[in-house]
Structure 1
Amino acid sequence: MQLPLSASPGPGGIAASARVLVGTSGYNYTEWKGTFYPEKLSSKKMLPFYAARLPTVEINYTFYRMPTERLLAGWSAATPDHFRFTLKAPRRITHDARLRRCEETTAAFCGAAQTLGPKLGILLFQLPPSFKKDLAVLDDFLAVLPPAVRAAFEFRHVSWHNAEVFERLRARRLALCVADSERLTTPVEMTADYGYFRLRDEGYQPGDIIRWAETIATRTAVCREVFVYFKHEDQGRGPEFARMLIEALTASACPP
């Protein structure tokens, strides 16, 4: 059965009203050769190979280094028009500065990301687990984000998971990143017209994937687009999980 690159199923079965784009966190992994990638595929050909099979990728490289326009233009040229990149915000913003006094770095990152044009999906701001709720800091940071930016915030301390935070994101039409990990699962709360899910368990079973498909389909009615990313692990199951989720969401629309 040939599966579509993204899930926009018709009525019946598990049906999401939003366009759901599913991928993995990263793509340039030699460990995936023999499972996802052909054994002899060169690293330069990994992104085109990946983009022909999945519609989006979450880039972790940008967490460590500010992306250059040349690098982003190269990624864009290697992928089809429908493809979308999510970029993780530099650690200088989220971990070193902890959202404080980082206006120039934030502006530089958001500006560079625009090089991707329509291929830019979401900017992910992932905060460290030790960073507890600070509404004043959040308010100040949200005030410096460009209004047109689509961003998701992954709060990894439970103190952030409350209505005060959700309402601030909702007022700016910014997404709460719903993360599922062994340590913590974020409340499934939609605060924008786009959704963001990070599914981090390395041992998902078919039933788990179906349950997440049901959650995404039933809890994202306010969204036009939903981005979902599975964790990178050495066995290369992330792409497999992504295809399983796409299949679960599109089963009613794809005849066997």
Structure 2
Amino acid sequence: MNLQHYKQDIADNGFSVISNIFSEEEIEKIGKVINQIDTSKETFRKSEDLFAIRQFLKEIPEVKDLVFNDNIKKIIKEVFGDQYFVVKSIYFDKPETSNWYVAYHQDLTISVDKKTVLENFGPWTTKQNQFAVQPPLDILENIYTIRIHLDDTDEQNGALKVVPTSHAKGIYRPETIDWNVETEHICNVEKGGIMIMKPLTLHGSNRTTNGKKRRVIHIEFSDQELPSEIQWSERESVL
């Protein structure tokens, strides 16, 4: 697997899709582990439109060896760099009937262990006793996100739509998108494939219209150390 093309693609456009990273059997095993969990914890979010698990790798540690197969480790090492570690993980399940719709946005916050006053860090949010903050731009620019697809995903069941090259424009407010100069790209991903994205890439997704579910594992990676007053809430080495 020659990854240089994908590395360049991400640098230029802010995203790339790579097929056949997980076998049918590996996807089945991951699904089985997820289906056996106790969903009553407060880090789990359940509604008709969405089931989500925050701190996914912390909540379900037995899934870790399945998620970080040789292909994923090779990608982290060669595309991101061997100093990269996990800083956030979420599992999303958009059910077949989901009307869940996500407007265009950038991922501007990181998850940390506590709230405190820090220069250039803010605003802060707290969800389910978890703290998120907008850090300085250079920290966001260094993050990579891997989205592992457990189902075939296209424009009919909520595939991500992105604005290519928007990751290189700093903080980009969605309401200022000039569609005369920007284009929209739909990221279709086959089951067992992944999408890699820079968090500053403008992205969103439409409602499901084809009655097919969409399960995604979203994992963010950084090689940056935070100021000593705070820590990444999910820091985990995988290489």
Q: Tell me if TM exceeds 0.5.
A: no
Larger RCO (CA within 8 A; separation ≥ 6):
2
Structure richer in helix, relative to its length: 1
TM-score by length of 1: 0.28
Structure richer in strand, relative to its length: 2
TM-score by length of 2: 0.29
